[in-house]
Amino acid sequence: MFETKNTRLAYLAGFFDGEGCISIIKGKNRLGNTQYGLRVIVSNTNNYVLQLYKFSFSGRIQKRKHDKPKWRDCYAWGLSSTQAYDFLKCLYPYLVIKKAEADLAFEFQENQSTYEGSNLRLGDKELSMREAQRILMQQLKRR
């Protein structure tokens, strides 16, 4: 289908610019401490394209059924944490619309790496910084 790896990456980046999502998510770990994480998702009704993401970058695909009978099922492929970071690094040269979001994702993940996988409670300064990055990511989507 694609003659070169660069052609495939350019196609996936263009598709991601239109159908993908970069987010900084907030949740609780098993000890009840607030934690933040990087996530990328691509959703579409065409499972073939999402299989291409899975083949190229691993991750998993989930099928989402709709309650409305005339709506087609939707599929979502995604990655989290360092896998999401590596994915964005590969696509970065080809991104247009999501380039600013990717820049923020890199900053977030590079600062997070010292805590990744840890159940330690983050300090107030670290929590404030991550929350500010999460809010900024939401604002970048509204431009």
The DSSP secondary-structure symbol of 93 reads: G
Q: Three-class SS of residue 36?
A: strand
Q: Rounded CA gap, 22 and 106, in Å?
A: 11
Domain 5-140 is in which class? alpha beta
Rounded to 5°, the CA angle 9-11-14 comes to: 105
The stretches in the chain having pLDDT less than 50 are none
pLDDT reported for residue 38: 96
pLDDT reported for residue 122: 79
pLDDT reported for residue 85: 97
Residues 25-58: pLDDT tens digits? 999 988 888 889 999 999 999 999 999 999 999 9
